[in-house]
Amino acid sequence: MNDKPSPKTGLARIWAALFYSLHGLRFSIYHVVAFQQEVCLFVVLLIVLYFLPISIVFKCILLFANTTVLIAELLNSAIESIVDMTSPDYHVLAKQAKDLGSAAVLISLLLAIVLWGSAIYFMLNRGSG
């Protein structure tokens, strides 16, 4: 039932890894509510980013910050899944692991907020001074 598949090598391993990653993304999009919300925000901000009158470098920095939020959420969801599997009952270390993953998401969100705030500030104030 839970037999581990035989390891692949070479191009077959790379090809399989691609599909494992896509499966993880698909799972997150359909089953992880926080990731769904962050993807929606990511898409909206991507559209806004396209039209913002700021340098391409600043656009890349904002895109990086937005992507970091998604990456942190995927890692947090992975932590939560493994903790739930190994520790179905309440345990202080399980809570700590989940809280640390959540903290990583929070820090990535704060980074994105600060960078977006900076971009808007500089955009609005570039004519003054």
Q: How far apart, in whole angstroms, are the C-alpha atoms of residue 17 and residue 90?
A: 33
Give which of 41, 49, 50, 54 is closest to 124, Cα–Cα: 54
Q: How far apart, in whole angstroms, are the C-alpha atoms of residue 85 and residue 16?
A: 24
Query: What pLDDT, on a 0 to 100 scale, did the predictor assign at position 90?
Result: 92
Q: Is the pTM of this model over 0.95?
A: no
**Choice among 73, 83, 105, 119 that is catalytic:** 73
Average pLDDT of the chain is: 93
Least confident of 43-47, 82-86, 102-106, 120-124: 120-124
Exposure class string for 9-30: b at 16+ Cβ within 10 A, else e: eeeeeeeeeeeeeeeeeeebee
Query: What pLDDT, on a 0 to 100 scale, did the predictor assign at position 102?
Result: 98
CB 46 within 8 A of CB 63: yes
Specify whether 38 is catalytic: no
Q: Is the pLDDT of residue 72 over 60?
A: yes
Q: Which domains does the chain have, with CATH numbers?
A: 33-125 (1.10.287.3610)
Q: Is the pLDDT of residue 23 over 90?
A: yes
Q: How far apart, in whole angstroms, are the C-alpha atoms of residue 73 and residue 40?
A: 13
Sequence-separated (6 or more) residues with CB below 8 Å from residue 24: 74
Q: Work out the average pLDDT over 50-58.
A: 93
Q: Work out the average pLDDT over 80-91.
A: 93
